[in-house]
Structure 1
């Protein structure tokens, strides 16, 4: 019996990891696509900023919708609906003939990918409960691995095969992973305690402060995702295939450190891990901002990824274990605030890029990470090893 249970737990763990990979691959495919859209539509950085803003607006709009669906019906239904609705969106933005239709397609892409993100994170939490073992950092590692594939190979596909072929290949790959993962994912039930609770914001300031920390941690990641390729192309003269590795390098190092994240946090503690991570991320963004050559900038983005990797998983764990808060309440606040950083803030970078260089912008983002570094003691609630051990004995 225990062997069957272990196999079932392993199967759902593999499925949710595949979902993270698929979502990361689609988001990564967006990274090298922006400069292609700018060239095809003949738009400036500020107008491209409006396109990026649509990505964030779509996500922020639909995240609460799929979050509510998860609370009422479980995460599996929300994952399936958001993923299936997101299948054609990359093709839509590729086939859209003008700026308005591209913006609508990007809005839908951001919305359904964001909805999938929220619901698959909830599914990962459900898998953690049945396995009695933390898997969140490694799940985010699979997301980063998908980002490497989507951004790195996407830049090559765009350069060698063209925009349409790239979109078709990325969509087919996304469908293939979904065909494997969706039938195998954990079909969870909604938390009865959350279902009975009124939907209201917490009165404690702690989740909002941690949300600000998550916001500061996710803005640099979003800036690399959306503008790293443009930075390398516009200011350093990098080729299209090389520029896609701005985010790919960041995602690759993030993937490696996220697979080690649960182990590092257990050995060092959440606060120390956060401090070391933030310091490394600051140094990496500084290198990228001061770089004079594309390869040095890519190296800086990769170094930044080492630091960024475990900042967000620590923030999510800290929020999910805040005292005197119902399960999921703190996490929902921090998730929304954090993802507003990765999705909305990079849109304003396009406007900033009209009056200052991307080099200056990335140096400013390095300074932004001083905030979570200084507020790192608030991450102590992410140290839940004792709670896990207790749970395992019940």
Structure 2
């Protein structure tokens, strides 16, 4: 029998190492862009190799979760993820970076999907909602990773030593955390292959796509926006990214309490409005203070939607939690990893400010989708509870409208 507290601590540590490692990479993108002499369009092409690696392994991960324990896949993914991070710091040419990012994305996929499957399993051991706290730790770790990245830039430490140090420390953390993870049997769903989201899961995937498009864009381009549009000093280039990650971490730690008060529909609706307002403010007023406030609003807006979507997908009655999360992630991570490279082409053609303004429309899409769906099917949605789970959460009494 798995100890709830021990399992919660272990999965928390895996969320930490995932966030810290990824933000370490993101915080040094401007340095790598400058070192390899890439313009925004060229950087967009190079960054596309990361989602390509993820998408190529997405079906494989779904199959692996039906054959092996999610804890084993999570551990292997953590080792590969941080190993590839260490290698990225030593690239000296574009083709090396492309190959490195492809493998980086593939290993990140193994880690994140299995890690989210583990978090849903841990949630089932508790009577209260704790799911957004895991993602809050990911954001906190990202904030710490971004802060360390800023310090490395300030003290002019190269990416090679920076990434190698982080990679080694996170691998050690993985070895410490693994024994406490949930030893779940393979998640059998009656299918021997990867399956796309069914009709019941598709609505979660669409919400996830819009939110994660904004999240991925902020991670990849916020530092570059502060450098080129805000004209921040070299020491302040990563400030926007740090503020964004801090706001997202705060939102996720407060998310469970707020969820019990206003419900899922309102959480998603207000999140969309915050994303729209924040990105638009940063685009219209590219000053360090106003852009920082805009990035802060965006961070709060994106903070809770994804963990709630993954939590609901994990309670699917038609698929086991691992394959269900993998299926929803297929759509959601398309936004997270495909939109940022496309952003590069748009920024080269229309400029960073206009492109950020266009990204703000994703927030309106999220809010409009929720409002239209809840008003047109209000009576039906009031009678439709969320999928049952071993531990009922009060927030589940606020049903999500049918978006199909």
1:33 aligns with 2:33: no
Unaligned runs of 5+ in 2: 375-380, 394-404
- Write out per-residue CA displacement over residues 86-109 of structure 1, whole angstroms, 9 at most, x where no aligned residue: 222122121122110111111111
Measured in 1, the distance between the counterparts of 2:30 and 2:140 equals 22
Residue 140 of structure 2 is matched in structure 1 by 145
Measured in 1, the distance between the counterparts of 2:196 and 2:25 equals 35
Distance 1:35 1:200, change over 3 A: closer
Distance 1:76 1:223, change over 3 A: same
How far the C-alpha of 1:337 sits from its partner, in A, is 0.6
Measured in 2, the distance between the counterparts of 1:126 and 1:387 equals 10
Residue 319 of structure 2 is matched in structure 1 by 326
Aligned mate of 2:205, from 206, 211, 217: 211
Residue 168 of structure 1 is matched in structure 2 by 164
Residue 12 of structure 1 is matched in structure 2 by 7
1:186 aligns with 2:206: no
Measured in 2, the distance between the counterparts of 1:241 and 1:284 equals 23
Aligned mate of 1:111, from 106, 121, 124: 106
Residue 265 of structure 1 is matched in structure 2 by 259
Is the Cα contact below 8 Å between 1:254 and 1:308 reproduced in 2? yes
User: In the TM superposition, what are the counterparts of 1:279-290 in structure 2 within 5 Å?
Assistant: 279-290=273-284
Is the Cα contact below 8 Å between 2:126 and 2:391 reproduced in 1? no
Distance 1:336 1:180, change over 3 A: same
Unaligned runs of 5+ in 1: none
SS at match of 2:124: helix
How far the C-alpha of 1:362 sits from its partner, in A, is 1.4
More displaced 10-residue stretch of structure 1: 236-245 or 102-111: 236-245
Distance 1:142 1:122, change over 3 A: same
Q: How many residues align?
A: 383
Distance 1:386 1:16, change over 3 A: closer
Measured in 1, the distance between the counterparts of 2:389 and 2:24 equals 40
1:82 aligns with 2:83: no
Distance 1:330 1:371, change over 3 A: farther
How far the C-alpha of 1:207 sits from its partner, in A, is 2.6
Residue 360 of structure 2 is matched in structure 1 by 366
Residue 61 of structure 1 is matched in structure 2 by 56
Residue 94 of structure 1 is matched in structure 2 by 89
Residue 154 of structure 2 is matched in structure 1 by 159
Measured in 2, the distance between the counterparts of 1:36 and 1:83 equals 25
More displaced 10-residue stretch of structure 1: 26-35 or 376-385: 376-385
Distance 1:241 1:56, change over 3 A: farther
Measured in 2, the distance between the counterparts of 1:384 and 1:269 equals 15
Measured in 2, the distance between the counterparts of 1:202 and 1:164 equals 39
Aligned mate of 1:338, from 332, 342, 348: 332
How far the C-alpha of 1:38 sits from its partner, in A, is 1.1
Distance 1:231 1:145, change over 3 A: same
Is the Cα contact below 8 Å between 1:317 and 1:382 reproduced in 2? no
Measured in 2, the distance between the counterparts of 1:12 and 1:387 equals 17
SS at match of 2:350: coil
Measured in 1, the distance between the counterparts of 2:111 and 2:89 equals 21
Measured in 1, the distance between the counterparts of 2:269 and 2:297 equals 15
How far the C-alpha of 1:224 sits from its partner, in A, is 0.8
Measured in 1, the distance between the counterparts of 2:263 and 2:386 equals 6
Measured in 1, the distance between the counterparts of 2:115 and 2:352 equals 33
Is the Cα contact below 8 Å between 1:20 and 1:142 reproduced in 2? yes
Is the Cα contact below 8 Å between 2:33 and 2:43 reproduced in 1? yes
Measured in 2, the distance between the counterparts of 1:13 and 1:387 equals 17
SS at match of 1:73: coil
Distance 1:69 1:132, change over 3 A: farther
How far the C-alpha of 1:348 sits from its partner, in A, is 0.8
User: In the TM superposition, what are the counterparts of 1:238-387 in structure 2 within 5 Å?
Assistant: 238-321=232-315, 325-328=318-321, 330-376=324-370
The structure in which a higher percent of residues are helix is 1
Is the Cα contact below 8 Å between 1:32 and 1:151 reproduced in 2? yes
Aligned mate of 1:70, from 61, 65, 71: 65
